């Protein structure tokens, strides 16, 4: 994809300096202190005006219907540790000593007015998580596989879903082609009839949970019945979203038409490199991971992206207050709704 902005070396250094007091605080150990310092940095005028203006431009673009943006040469930690992929999250806690990437992503989300979202059963409820392979999930249906990912919304089987996903490249293989692909929902809808959209907007479908969720929550195997289309948003995972047992024939036919529409729709692809930020809507479209050319599988398995989930605004976040784990704002529990078998 064409970058929305490439930070100059001068801008990069200015941002790194402005975020240095925040980058020394671990958001995994001292999240409240990290968050308070992040907000004070903005309130005290420590964040460069060019970055504030850039975030305003992205907000304006979103209001006009553009929900995917790429920034390059972003502030990123220079010391990226090698992780043991049997348990990379624990290794990160032990080895990663600076948090410049987290400081950048947190400030970026704050300036966009997007409250952070985390899940209590994922990475200990951390608001800054990782797209990294875990050996036991090789070939499995989860973002922690080292393989491809089908088109999906993140956590589509969960009642609390992110409005936006942000990815920041920490370790990206230079000689292998791994792309994140995005399909805008508007393009999918343009290939559907009014009747198909009407059927897809009814609760005729369920989504099976991914393999990591099955491991974490033993008695949860699928979502409650849901629609695939809800106004302008989508709730869908290819191969995992299926009609419920008593769905009418028209619901099955509409699902097939939806998949055909995905194939017909234009795709936006970006190869995330070190220092790249890719931010896109989670529910206004679908995304996947495609390994186009892999010359060194071992290096590809070490790929490491920093990731945040965010809500559109605090009003949206507040609607999920009953899900907050131990009263932590934005940290969603896995409260299971009644499932329709």
Could you read off the pLDDT of 14-63 as tens digits, one per residue? 999 999 999 999 999 999 999 999 999 999 999 999 999 999 999 999 99
Residues pairing with 119 in the sheet:
332
Tokens of 7: 């930070």
Q: Which residues contact 298 (CB under 8 A, 6 or more apart)?
A: none
Determine how β-strand 285-293 pairs with β-strand 229-230. unpaired
Closest CA to 117 of 338, 326, 324, 265: 324
Contact 25, 34 (CB under 8 A): yes
The rounded distance, in Å, linking the Cα atoms of 144 and 147 is 9
Q: What are the b/e assignments for 161-197, b being 16+ CB within 10 Å?
A: bbbbbbbbbbbbbeebebbbbbbbbebbbeebeeebb
Query: Where are the chain's structural domains?
Result: 5-332
Could you read off the pLDDT of 111-155 as tens digits, one per residue? 999 999 999 988 889 999 998 988 887 776 666 777 888 999 998
Could you read off the pLDDT of 168-222 as tens digits, one per residue? 999 998 988 999 999 999 999 999 999 999 999 999 999 998 766 666 666 777 8
Closest CA to 115 of 334, 329, 322: 329
The rounded distance, in Å, linking the Cα atoms of 105 and 76 is 10
Tokens of 19: 């975020």
The rounded distance, in Å, linking the Cα atoms of 75 and 98 is 12
Contact 238, 183 (CB under 8 A): no
Closest CA to 12 of 69, 65, 77, 59: 77
Say whether domain 5-332 belongs to CATH 3.60.130.10: yes
């Amino acid at each position: 994809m064409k970058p929305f902005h490439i930070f100059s070396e001068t801008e990069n250094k200015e941002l790194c300096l402005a975020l240095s007091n925040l980058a020394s605080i671990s958001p995994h150990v001292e999240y409240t202190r990290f968050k308070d310092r992040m907000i004070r940095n903005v309130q005290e005028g420590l964040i460069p005006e060019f970055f504030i203006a850039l975030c305003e431009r992205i907000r304006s673009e979103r209001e006009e219907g553009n929900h995917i943006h790429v920034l390059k040469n972003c502030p990123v930690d220079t010391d990226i540790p090698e992780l043991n992929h049997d348990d990379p999250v624990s290794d990160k806690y032990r080895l990663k000593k600076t948090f410049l990437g987290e400081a950048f992503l947190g400030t970026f989300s704050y300036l966009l007015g997007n409250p952070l979202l985390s899940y209590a059963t994922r990475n200990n409820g951390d608001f800054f998580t990782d797209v990294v392979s875990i050996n036991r999930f090789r070939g499995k249906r989860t973002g922690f596989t080292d393989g491809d990912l089908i088109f999906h919304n993140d956590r589509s089987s969960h009642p609390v879903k992110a409005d936006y996903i942000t990815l920041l490249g920490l370790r990206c293989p230079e000689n292998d082609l791994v792309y994140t692909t995005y399909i805008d929902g508007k393009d999918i809808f343009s290939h559907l009839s009014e009747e198909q959209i009407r059927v897809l907007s009814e609760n005729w479908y369920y989504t099976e949970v991914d393999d990591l969720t099955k491991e974490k929550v033993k008695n949860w195997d699928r979502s409650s019945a849901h629609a695939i289309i809800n106004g302008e948003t989508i709730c869908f995972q290819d191969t995992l979203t299926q009609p419920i047992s008593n769905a009418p024939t028209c619901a099955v036919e509409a699902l097939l038409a939806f998949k055909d529409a995905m194939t017909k729709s234009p795709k936006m692809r970006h190869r995330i490199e070190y220092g790249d930020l890719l931010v896109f809507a989670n529910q206004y479209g679908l995304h996947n991971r495609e390994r186009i050319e892999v010359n060194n599988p071992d290096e590809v398995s070490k790929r490491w992206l920093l990731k945040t989930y965010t809500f559109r605004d605090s009003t949206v976040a507040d609607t999920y207050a009953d899900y907050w784990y131990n009263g932590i704002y934005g940290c969603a529990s896995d409260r299971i709704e009644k499932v329709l078998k």
